[in-house]
Amino acid sequence: MDRTERFYKIQSLLRQRKIVRAIEFQEALEVSRATFRRDLEYLRDRLGMPIRWDATVNGYVLDADDSNNQPLSGFWLNDEEVLALLSLIQVTSTIEPAKLLALTTEPLQERLEHMLSQGKYAASAIRSRIKVSTVGRRRTSPEHFQTIADALLSRQRLHITHFGRSTAENTARDISPQRLVYYRDNWYLDTYCHMRNGLRSFSVDAIQSVGRLSTAPAIDIDESQLSKELDNTYGIFSGKTARLAQLRFSAFQARWVANEIWHTDQVGQLSEDGSYLLQVPFSDEQELMMDILRYGAHVEVLTPQSLRDAILAVAKKLVVQYGSDG
């Protein structure tokens, strides 16, 4: 068995038998005394597992009485699992502007890299071979993000000034933050807006200022209501009233779109001619139009007519803008 399997076995023996002699470890692990001692030292010194020699019982025990060093709860991973967890930490550090998890994940990452170094992968491969590109990401103020996250978790109300891109105006809102959502490489804050008396979603990068309100705690909205009002229609312009868009993609573009997830409730079907029919719910046309226009002539809006008309209006403007001088 490899070293990670031996770590599992050592912990299992200690939990099952409570007291384990050195010779019993050697027989169960099928290793020499020297190898067992090296494993034992690594578990205690590098991974912090509280294994103690008890002379009164002539064996090893897990020291569960030390409140600062409790026995580990089965957190032993093979090389592939360690690699996956390190990759997840790497991704998290890329999308997290305020490094909220850094104090927690950095010690864990250090331990995982120690574990990985004993196996067939090098820890440096995580940094050099796994890359997360966030090309469409907009800059978010770390200070604002930190304040928002703290208020969200401590259930405090916030006073924010938000820049509305469609109106080019700043508006002040008192809000009860409900959840942070990472969507398409950007952060959004789902809230209960006390000015509008309803649920609203704000782009965090468009928040110009943020301050805590200590006059009253944040109100909590049931997760089912949040999902019903904010999750069930297309994208960040979600709302209560949903319509269905039917799109037909060319056989060429179907090779990609057939594997894309536009919405959790979408319905897609490949046609005999190779084209792809996609049905997706939406409430506001703006974001859906941007996605449709990315595919140019390779997609046709079948329904609703209002969406067809909106795409046609954009197409006419493009013809004027790019039309030949002759």
**211 has which bridge partners?**
159
* 97 within 8 A of 142, measured Cβ to Cβ: yes
Calpha distance 91→131 (Å, rounded) = 8
97-108 pLDDT, tens digit each: 766 666 667 777
**pLDDT above 90 for 235:** no
Query: Are the CB atoms for 158 and 174 separated by under 8 Å?
Result: yes
Q: Which of 75, 82, 76, 77 minimizes the C-alpha distance to 121?
A: 82
Q: Is the pLDDT of residue 74 over 50?
A: no
User: With contact defined as beta carbons under 8 Å apart, do 47 and 108 qualify?
Assistant: no
pLDDT tier at 67 (50, 70, 90 boundaries)? very low
Report the residue count for the chain. Answer: 326
Residue-wise pLDDT for 31-42, tens only, equals 999 998 998 888
- CA atoms of 257 and 251, how far apart (whole Å): 10
- Number of neighbouring beta carbons within 10 Å of residue 297: 8
Average pLDDT over residues 158-187: 92
The tens digit of pLDDT for each residue in 214-228 reads 778 999 999 999 988
Q: Which of 219, 207, 232, 76 is nearest to 140 (CA)?
A: 207
